Amino acid sequence: MSVNGLAYHTVVNAMEAASGWTPQLRFRSAVLSSLDGHLPYERYYRAGHARRKANTGADAVERDVQDWLSIDLNPVVQIIRSQSNSSQVVRLFNTYNAMAKLGVRTVAAPQEGSSVMPPTINKRSRFTDLEDQEHCRLGTYLVLSSSIDIVSRNNKTQALPKIHSLSDIATNLGVAHSASAETATVFEMEGYISVSEVARKIGCHQRTLERRLQKEGLTAETIRTATRLNRATKRLRSDDSLTVIAIEEGFSDQAQMSRAFRQSCGMTPSSLRMSTELDF
């Protein structure tokens, strides 16, 4: 075993309860974690240990998990939230755990006889020398059970669940008029255009835009890549071939898009798409 495993960013942030983060920093986190949703397992371990020492209750952990989950743009979470029943959520959750390079891999099952009740965690396999903290186990479980709650609410509306965009999250966080959010909105609407053209549409010079983005901890290219991946994630629910999606969303080919998805969530777009097509 080694200590080089990874942990999912939402659980890490929830364990850290990153108080003091501004809405703009949270938006930055949403953008970056959409491109790579994993953080070092050591950070996950330390945060869980701190929660245990502080005697943090389950209710507080649940609030923090739901708070961070609400701004999660990572493809695997977006696709999980768009499933039609709890069994599909659990299967995709298990597929993700099997494919991503996690320090702890979790296997879950729906509660027997119900498609809406919370799942049960059957097994957690450790691939690191560090222990599996109790609060980290709770955080992982709450990501799954909260996702099932979201799917259950979606089903009641009988509407196709929305794949959230960067501009959606910026609006929810109250930072829609920041440089990074405005840049994301332009890329979402216009696709692959130059940074100078983005600046023109926003109403400033390119260097001014780049300075504003730098202050917010992002670059135009990072935002462009995040919006491209987000648009591709939305289209996994369509009948378009993966090759067509890759080319039309600005990837050089399907292989490049697959690498981007693997970096983002440890899964390929074909695996994610297959999970949306399976029923139980």
CATH classification of the domain holding 242 = 1.10.10.60
d(CA 183, CA 146): 31
Indicate whether 1 belongs to any domain: no
Note whether 45 and 134 are within 8 A (CB): no
Indicate whether 270 belongs to any domain: yes
* Residue 206 DSSP SS3: helix
β-strand partners of 107: 123
Contacts of 99 by beta carbon, 8 Å cutoff, 6+ apart: 266, 267, 271
d(CA 140, CA 106): 8
Judge if 143 and 245 occupy the same domain. no
Contacts of 210 by beta carbon, 8 Å cutoff, 6+ apart: 195, 219, 220
CA 164 and chain centroid, separation: 10
Judge if 17 and 119 occupy the same domain. yes
Of 151, 80, 66, 144, the C-alpha closest to 107 is: 144
pLDDT of residue 279: 44
Q: pLDDT-derived band of residue 111, with 50, 70 and 90 as boundaries?
A: low
Q: How many CB atoms lie within 10 A of CB 28?
A: 19
Judge if 47 and 100 occupy the same domain. yes
Residues 10-52 have pLDDT tens digits of 999 999 987 788 999 999 999 999 999 999 999 999 999 999 9
Q: What's the DSSP call for residue 120?
A: E
Judge if 146 and 183 occupy the same domain. no
Indicate whether 212 belongs to any domain: yes
Among 157, 174, 199, give the residue marking a domain's end: 157
Q: pLDDT-derived band of residue 7, with 50, 70 and 90 as boundaries?
A: very high
**Buried b / exposed e along 185-224 (16+ C-beta atoms within 10 A):** bbbbeeeeeebeebbeebebeeeebbebbeebebebebbb
d(CA 258, CA 266): 10
Residues 241-270 have pLDDT tens digits of 999 999 999 999 999 999 999 999 999 999
Among 157, 183, 209, give the residue marking a domain's end: 157
pLDDT of residue 5: 86
In which residue are the tokens 């942030």 written? 13
Judge if 93 and 190 occupy the same domain. no
Q: Per DSSP, which regions of 142-182 are E strands?
A: none
Indicate whether 96 belongs to any domain: yes
Judge if 67 and 85 occupy the same domain. yes
Report the run of H or E that residue 105 belongs to, with start and end. strand 104-109
Indicate whether 143 belongs to any domain: yes
pLDDT of residue 278: 47
For the chain, what is the domain count?
2
Judge if 116 and 182 occupy the same domain. no
Mean pLDDT of 105-111: 85
CA dihedral 142, 111, 265, 215 (to 10 degrees): -20
Length of the chain: 280
More confident residue, 242 or 115: 242
Indicate whether 193 belongs to any domain: yes
Average pLDDT, the chain: 90
d(CA 43, CA 15): 9
Judge if 69 and 108 occupy the same domain. yes
Judge if 12 and 143 occupy the same domain. yes
Judge if 16 and 152 occupy the same domain. yes
Judge if 185 and 129 occupy the same domain. no
Among 107, 126, 157, give the residue marking a domain's end: 157
Of 132, 123, 106, the C-alpha closest to 41 is: 132
Indicate whether 23 belongs to any domain: yes
- Whether the full predicted model's pTM is greater than 0.85, yes or no, is yes
pLDDT of residue 162: 79
Residue range of the domain that includes 108? 6-157
Structure tokens at 38: 């994993």
Judge if 136 and 187 occupy the same domain. no
d(CA 142, CA 61): 8
